[in-house]
């Protein structure tokens, strides 16, 4: 099993090289990976009621899941990259088909790239979806926060402005007053975040 810099014996030398290059920020390696396994995912989506555009959307999302796991050092592999990507993209396409149909969906799998189960891809994809949901909820909470809290928090946390700069920008008498206001805004933001987060369907 591979985590961070360790490598599973099930990986090919090409897989090892691709993971190392992507981890080092080599964009050519990512482009090569994209071209390498695109036909596999395209064939799968097309034979399961999808279009070329559907296949591209699913594949791009699947590659990004893989890329982010490699870059943050949390990737675990007990299979080859192509099997992992197949599992991720299969899950993504199944989710789309299920959302469009009132009936059960049965996918036709490519025997060459199965089995798709027990690759760790399912857990990684669910984690990525959960992270996206948190970011979306936080963005919505910021939108509901109102001014000046929204601009104050964005200025400090996103734009990396100092408390002195924010004190002058928002007209506070001193930096301590600005800090107190920032704290109150954070409390409000957390309440909004958890209220919206709990209300969202799982």
* Residue found under tokens 């669910």: 126
**Helix (H/G/I), strand (E/B), else coil: 90:** helix
Instruction: Report the length, in residues, of the chain.
Output: 202
- Mark which of 90, 124, 158 sits at the end of a domain: 124
Residue 61: per-residue pLDDT: 87
Residue 168: per-residue pLDDT: 92
**What is the C-alpha separation between 65 and 92, in angstroms, rounded?**
11
Based on the fold, state whether residues 86 and 42 are members of the same structural domain: yes
**What is the C-alpha separation between 198 and 187, in angstroms, rounded?**
17
Number of H helices, E strands in the chain: 8, 0
The number of folded domains in the chain is: 2
Based on the fold, state whether residues 28 and 107 are members of the same structural domain: yes
Tens digits of per-residue pLDDT, 91-136? 888 888 877 655 555 555 555 444 444 555 566 666 666 656 666 6
Tens digits of per-residue pLDDT, 53-98? 889 988 988 888 888 888 888 887 778 888 888 888 888 888 888 7
Q: Tell me the residue range of the domain where 97 lies.
A: 13-124
Residue 57 counted as domain residue: yes
Q: Quick one: tokens of 139? A: 């963005």
Whether 178 has a pLDDT exceeding 50, the answer reads yes
Residue 2 counted as domain residue: no
Find the CATH number of the domain harbouring 52.
Answer: 1.10.1740.10
Task: Give, rounded to a whole angstrom, the gap between the first and last alpha carbons of the chain.
Answer: 30
Residue 39: per-residue pLDDT: 92
**What is the C-alpha separation between 26 and 68, in angstroms, rounded?**
13
Based on the fold, state whether residues 94 and 171 are members of the same structural domain: no
Residue 140 counted as domain residue: no
Residue 7: per-residue pLDDT: 42
Based on the fold, state whether residues 81 and 178 are members of the same structural domain: no
More confident residue, 157 or 64: 64
How distant is the alpha carbon of residue 191 from its chain centre? 24
Helix axes 27-46, 13-23, angle to 10 degrees: 120
Q: What is the pTM (predicted TM-score) of this model?
A: 0.52
Predicted confidence band at 48 (pLDDT cuts at 50, 70, 90)?
confident
């Amino acid at each position: 099993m591979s985590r961070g810099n360790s490598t599973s014996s099930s990986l090919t030398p090409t897989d090892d090289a691709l993971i190392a290059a992507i981890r080092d920020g080599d964009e050519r390696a990512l482009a090569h990976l994209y071209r390498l396994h695109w036909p596999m995912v395209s064939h799968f989506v097309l034979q399961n009621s999808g279009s070329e555009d559907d296949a591209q959307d699913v594949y791009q999302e699947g590659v990004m899941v893989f890329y982010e796991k490699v870059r943050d050092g949390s990737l675990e592999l007990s299979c080859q990259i192509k099997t992992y990507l197949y599992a991720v993209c299969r899950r993504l396409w199944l989710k789309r088909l299920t959302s469009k149909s009132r009936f059960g969906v049965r996918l036709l799998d490519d025997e060459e790239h199965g089995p798709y189960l027990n690759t760790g891809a399912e857990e990684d994809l669910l984690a990525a979806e959960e992270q996206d949901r948190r970011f979306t909820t936080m963005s919505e909470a910021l939108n509901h926060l109102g001014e000046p809290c929204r601009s104050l928090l964005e200025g400090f946390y996103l734009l990396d402005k100092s408390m002195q700069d924010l004190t002058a920008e928002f007209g506070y008498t001193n930096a301590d007053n600005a800090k107190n206001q920032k704290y109150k805004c954070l409390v409000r933001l957390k309440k909004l975040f958890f209220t919206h987060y709990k209300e969202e369907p799982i």
